[in-house]
Amino acid sequence: MDFSHPPHVSEIAHRVRRFVDEEVIPLEDFKSSGSISDAALRNLRQKAKAAGLWAPQLPPDLGGMGLSLSEIVPVFEAAGRSHLGPLALNCAAPDEGNMHLLQLFTNGQQRERYLKPLAAGEIHSAFAMTEPAPGAGSDPTMLLTRAERDGEDWIINGHKWFTSGGEGAGFYLIMARTDSDLPAHKGSTIFIAPAGMPGIEVVRNVPIMGFDDFGGHCEMKFHDLRLPASAVLGEVGQGFALTQARLGPARLTHCMRWTGIAQRALEIATQYAAERDAFGKHLNEHQAVQWMLADSALELHAGRLMMQQAAWLLEQGQHAREESSMCKVHAAETVNRVLDRAIQICGGKGISRDLPLSSWYEAARAFRIYDGASEVHRMVIARGVIKRHSAG
């Protein structure tokens, strides 16, 4: 086994970290919304392009750096040191996952109309699958949004929420049932709908814990939304297969980016512990604090190895479903624990907005829910354990 990163990957990760530390972090504002203006983001993206750090995950013909899934592990972590870092490099969710999906399944016309401007950072996108109860949430087979044929067109009606990136999106990827006689995983389809079409209603940007994410997390309704047959992504009935092709790598990239935040939180706590005195010595001389730092370091280290292995398996053409689920559970819960310890070490300053820790802590709680709740991924893992035991 070779656990080293290729020299060019290590060099890119180093440059990304320097870019984020020098250009991105100074723009953070956790005392208000944590958001960034459109003008500031455009300027930051121009700097990223000029530095040769644009879209590490995309091929060169789309303006990217051409890195593979395993190669982006340290690069995305470096970008994720700030929640604005992935935005600056055009590798933030949901656009990064949507670009991966569009790369795999768009036809020539769809590629020109949607993928190329998304890859260039000219627009952003949204993925509309999650529905309020009693629709699809953790169980996507409960999908209620319907698409029905009307001649050559499709008519979509449904109710979605937590459509990330929905505010101001250039287009929406909509998951809908297209054959009610088949199970949802065989009778669903993804449609591409450009923004501004009659029948698309952005009801609201759902208020959530933590800072304001770019594009928000929107509640949406589709009222007799008419789309041509050319709006189908892939083929009719392929919706769930396409979604799995998107979500597998996207779970890992979420883990990579959040590991960057957790690593920075550990650094903030370590620095504070080295400077703050209590009970006659620095905090970092107290065993209770040392153990918190040690636990955070070892859990982050384990997570990096899990991400690297899961990425490698996916590159070998394996589904790596259990490994991806293990990675998602471990990373999501590790990030929450690391942030909790960092706040504890920093005490009163940790819960203030003078440090970014409290904002990260609020935002990170959702990581245990989106892209599959921890309980759902544990169910996937357990099924594999039981299946192997029964077969053996």
CATH (domain of 129): 2.40.110.10
The token pair that represents 381 in the structure block? 């893992």
Same domain, 258 and 366: yes
Same domain, 188 and 267: no
Residue 246: the pLDDT is 87
Same domain, 219 and 248: no
Same domain, 252 and 344: yes
Last residue in a domain, options 236, 270, 304: 236
Same domain, 69 and 158: no
Residue 245: the pLDDT is 86
323 CB-near residues (< 8 Å, 6+ apart): 306, 309, 310, 313
Residues facing residue 232 across a β-bridge: 191
Phi and psi angles of residue 268, each rounded to the nearest 5 degrees, phi first? -60, -45
Exposure b/e, 192-229, CB count within 10 A at least 16 = b: bbeeeeeebebeebeeeebbbbbbbbbbbbbeebebee
193 CB-near residues (< 8 Å, 6+ apart): 156, 171, 172, 174, 200, 225, 227, 231
* 215: in domain: yes
Last residue in a domain, options 236, 266, 301: 236
Same domain, 323 and 253: yes
**What is the tens place of the pLDDT at every residue in 160-183?**
999 999 999 999 999 999 999 998
Same domain, 165 and 231: yes
Same domain, 219 and 362: no
78 CB-near residues (< 8 Å, 6+ apart): 13, 14, 16, 17, 20, 85, 260
Q: How many residues make up the chain in this entry? A: 392
Nearest to 21 by CA among 68, 69, 88: 88
Per-residue pLDDT of the chain (392 residues; tens, 9 = 90+): 788 899 999 999 999 999 999 999 999 988 777 789 999 999 999 999 999 999 999 999 999 999 999 999 999 999 999 999 999 999 999 999 999 999 999 999 999 999 999 999 999 999 999 999 999 999 989 999 999 999 999 999 999 999 999 999 999 999 999 999 998 889 999 999 999 999 999 999 999 998 889 999 999 999 999 999 999 999 999 999 999 888 889 999 999 999 999 999 999 999 999 999 999 999 999 999 999 999 999 999 999 999 999 999 999 999 999 999 999 999 999 999 999 999 999 999 999 999 999 999 999 999 999 999 999 999 999 999 999 999 87
Residue 2: the pLDDT is 85
Same domain, 267 and 384: yes
* 109: in domain: no
Same domain, 174 and 210: yes
Same domain, 221 and 275: no
Residues facing residue 355 across a β-bridge: none
CATH number at residue 336: 1.20.140.10
pTM of the entire predicted model:
0.95
- Give the range of the structural domain holding residue 52, as residue numbers without chain letter: 7-92
CB-CB contact of 269 with 282 (8 Å): no
Q: Which residue reads 């280290």 in tokens? A: 301
Residue 185: the pLDDT is 86
* 106: in domain: no
Same domain, 246 and 377: yes
Residue 30: the pLDDT is 82
The token pair that represents 127 in the structure block? 């993925």
CB-CB contact of 194 with 110 (8 Å): no
As a whole number of angstroms, the distance between CA 181 and CA 164 comes to 30
CB-CB contact of 53 with 22 (8 Å): no
Last residue in a domain, options 213, 236, 259: 236
* 230: in domain: yes
CB-CB contact of 13 with 75 (8 Å): yes
Question: What letter does residue 144 receive in the DSSP assignment?
Answer: -
CATH number at residue 81: 1.10.540.10
Secondary structure (3-state) at 182 = coil
Secondary structure (3-state) at 59 = coil
* 82: in domain: yes
Secondary structure (3-state) at 93 = coil
* 179: in domain: yes
As a whole number of angstroms, the distance between CA 104 and CA 22 comes to 35
CB-CB contact of 188 with 240 (8 Å): yes
Q: Which residue reads 């180093």 in tokens? A: 14
* 107: in domain: no
As a whole number of angstroms, the distance between CA 47 and CA 26 comes to 14
* 116: in domain: no
Number of domains into which the chain is organized: 3
